[in-house]
Each structure stands twice: as structure tokens, then as C-alpha cells.
Chains A and B, each alone.
Chain A
């Protein structure tokens, strides 16, 4: 058989982007807000989320999806320390979640009794930023020990996030971390990004973050 050349001219992300948009519309109609949380490994995602869930669990019915390449450590931590409905998603070796995997997680979690679904993405600053999961809002956690130059090195993740939590501010005196510089660099990538300096361990700065999330969830569900 003769091969013929067929012009495709399509971004490799087009298929996932369309799928993500469908999931977003579905969640909107079902009244479930999906928060996609991204960061490097060890930035304090799980600690931040445990505290956030416990602070908001009287206001919203919360579900959490823990995505990891392997293990159920985070899912166990969540179910031992919060009342949130928890499921574990294994990415089967992949370094990120796409819209299709997120939909499978959402289906398992169920939206009927969940107002706020949180997706704890795989710890990685590169790949999760490229794949739209269908989330209502994207949030990133950057911790002080990682350094203030990250917006320069990993521009895309700062571009796609609506809020940036700067965690572990309690150890600032021990690191050469410049809060003004990180703010400047992050705004260079994304002028609209909201920045919240926090310490998930002590609770410092968390109220402003809760307030932002609360407002976003209410707006989405209204």
C-alpha cells in the first residue's frame, strides 16, 4: 500500500486541553471546585493541605486525590489527620497527571458529596505545568529552602498558577531567600499571581490563603 502524507498541524497538548475543558465544565455544572496543587517534592504540600482541610472542613465538604508515582504514604497521612474523603491515584510511572487521569480520580472520589476537591499533583515543577488537569484553579507551593530564583528557572509553572504559597517562612533567617526578589520574578512570569507567604507548620500567614480559597470556591459554586 502506498503511504501518503497527511498534514496534521496540531499541538500535542490540544487533545488534553480540550479534554480538560470538558472536565472543567462538568465540575462547574456539578458544583465541585477542583484545586490542583503543584510543587517540588518536599515543599510541604501534604502538611499545607492537612492544615487547610482542617481549617475549612466545617464550611465545605472536602475530597482529596493524592497523586504519586507509587506508594500510599500521603493518602494515609491525609486519612489519619483529616476528615476529608481521600483516594490515592497512581500515575503508573508518569511524572504528572493529565485530564483523563484526573477524570478517573474524580469519578472514584464522586462529586455528589464534595464541594472542594483537591488534587495533590506529583512533586515536580516541569511536567504538571504542561498538562491542564481541568482544575478550577492552579496553586503552587514553593518552600524557602528551594531558593527565590525558581520563577526564573521554571517559568511555565508560575505562568499557569493562580496563587503561589511561599512555605516554610519560619526558616527564612537560615537561608539566603529574598522575598522581594521572588515576588518580582513571579510577577514577571505572571502579573496576576497571588502570593501568600506561609508556614504550614505554625499556621503563620495561613488565614489570608484560606480566605482566598474560600472566596474562589464560593464564586465557582454560585
Chain B
């Protein structure tokens, strides 16, 4: 359900873009999806295939996703580490004073269109 909401927003952004650039058909949409963005790629694909039929601009489009790795920064030892592997606690100094540097984003990278 969360994926569907996101797709509605992508569709709005692309409709606006298509108006500006006088595009009539989008062949593919490439997203950059952060590893810990909470977006499940399989659900995205399902929701995309359901929703695209409602929008002529996107009706024949393919959704592609590229993963952006999640990286966490430790304020204690100023180390960066892989979020998915180690979680919230810094593997070097065991501090919980850490925050996410990258990995929560979801961007529309590019589209193929005419």
C-alpha cells in the first residue's frame, strides 16, 4: 500500500515533466532506491504494473530500480559502516550514537521517453 502511494507521486511528477518537455510516451523509469528506504522492490513492480494502466503516458513503461547502499556514521569514533550488516550500533566502538548518512532516499534517476 505504501508502494502504491509512492507510485501515485511518481506518476504526478512525470506527468508534469511530460507536459513541460512535450513527451507523449514513457518507455522506462529508473529509480534509485535506498537499501533502508522501506521500499520493497517486488511490491513496487506489482503496484507499478497495476497503476500504469490508469495513466496513458505510462501504460507501456517498465520500472527499473537501482539500489543505493545504506551507510551509517558513528559520532563517537567518526567511523562509517554498512548499515544493513551492523545495524544501529557501531561495530568498531559499540556506540549507539550513530546516524544514517545515505540509504533512505528514493529518487527518480532518469526516464526513457519520446
A, B bound: yes
Chain A residues within CB distance 8 Å of chain B: 1-16, 93-96, 98, 126-127, 130-131, 152, 156, 188
Given contacts A1-B25, A152-B88, contact A6 B4 (CB under 8 A): no
Give the docked Cα–Cα distance between A95 and B108 (Å). 22
What are 16 A-B residue pairs whose CB atoms fall within 8 Å in the complex? A1-B25, A2-B114, A3-B25, A5-B112, A6-B112, A8-B14, A12-B106, A13-B9, A16-B9, A94-B4, A96-B2, A98-B5, A126-B38, A127-B1, A127-B5, A130-B2
A-contact 0/1 string along B82-114, CB 8 Å cutoff: 000000100000001100000011111111111
In the complex, which range does the number of interface residues on chain B fall in? 20 to 34
User: Which residue, A1, A3, A9, A98, has most C-beta atoms of chain B within 10 A?
Assistant: A3
A96–B106 contact, CB under 8 A? no
* Known contacts A9-B110, A12-B9, A13-B9, then 13 further A-B pairs from the complex at CB < 8 Å, ordered by chain A residue: A4-B112, A6-B21, A8-B14, A10-B107, A10-B108, A11-B107, A15-B16, A93-B4, A94-B5, A98-B9, A126-B38, A127-B1, A156-B104
Cα–Cα, bound, A127→B25 (Å)? 30
Tell me if B1 and A94 are in contact (CB < 8 A): yes
A3 to B5, Cβ gap below 8 A?
no
